[in-house]
Amino acid sequence: MEQTTTEITQILICKVKKCRLHVGEEAIEAVAASIRKEVELQGIQRQVEVGFGKCSGLCQYGCVGHRTRDRQSSHSSGRNSRGLYRQKSYPL
């Protein structure tokens, strides 16, 4: 059984209540759309996932976080197992 490991970066835009109130729902949606567009333009959809989430605890009132993980895929079974190993947040 052959296995490969691919590094995946997740970009998470914080969408908890206090971030939505401080920054605004439209601004959060605009940031997500802008990041998704840039990921598509760069052609890196397989390496980067963009979505909404919760910041890592040190909320900056509208933060964008990223976490990087390994995705191991077994070519014979087609199953993926994922493990988180690093995370950081930045204010908008």
Report pLDDT digits (tens) over 66-89: 677 665 543 433 333 444 445 555
The number of folded domains in the chain is 1
Q: Is 20 helix (H, G, I), strand (E, B) or coil?
A: helix
Quote the domain boundaries for residue 54.
Answer: 3-91
pLDDT of residue 39: 93
Counting runs of H as helices and runs of E as strands, what totals does the chain give?
A: 2, 4
Cα separations in angstroms, 77 against 35, 41, 46, 64, 84 = 33, 32, 19, 34, 22
Model confidence at 40, pLDDT cuts 50, 70, 90, reads very high
C-alpha span between 83 and 74 (Å, rounded): 15
